[in-house]
Amino acid sequence: MPAHEEDEVEFLPIWTGRLPEQDPEKVPKGRNLGGKTLGEELTLLHDAYVQDEEDRDREMHAHLYSSNWQGDVYVGSNWNSLTVLLALGFATPLLGLLFAFLSYGTLWTGHYYGI
């Protein structure tokens, strides 16, 4: 039921099966592509569709294929979670040992108090 009596309820055409009526004057008219005969016009139209399809395929290929993807299949890279965990596991103790070696004379022997 509409909120106001003067409001019209417009249903979607897919629900009702009705298409909205169109004014024939407002419907865009087709234009010629430059062919002199119907066969030439169809050939030009076919060539335009083929060119658009090739452009779309080329653009889609650029989006679908990269170093980590082959179509819709992820092929991964050399850096995965195990590699990162191993790198952190080795780097943390090595950095700790490096810090201990570089600060041995000041932090580890009690000389920083002037004793």
pLDDT tens across 5-22, in order?
A: 665 655 555 555 555 677
Residue 41 pLDDT level (bands cut at 50, 70, 90): confident
Over the chain, what is the mean pLDDT?
Answer: 77
Rounded distance, CA 70 to CA 76, Å? 10
Residue 30 confidence (pLDDT) above 80: no
Rounded distance, CA 3 to CA 34, Å? 53
User: Picking from 1-5, 24-28, 85-89, which range would have the lowest pLDDT averaged per residue?
Assistant: 1-5
What are the boundaries of each domain within the chain?
Answer: 32-76, 78-115
Q: Is 111 in a helix, a strand, or coil? A: helix
Residue 110 confidence (pLDDT) above 70: no
Residue 67 confidence (pLDDT) above 60: yes
Residue spans of alpha helices (H) in 1-115? 13-16, 38-64, 81-102, 104-107
- Contact between 8 and 2 under an 8 Å Cβ cutoff? The reply is yes
Query: pTM (2 decimals)?
Result: 0.36
Question: Which pLDDT value is given to residue 87?
Answer: 94
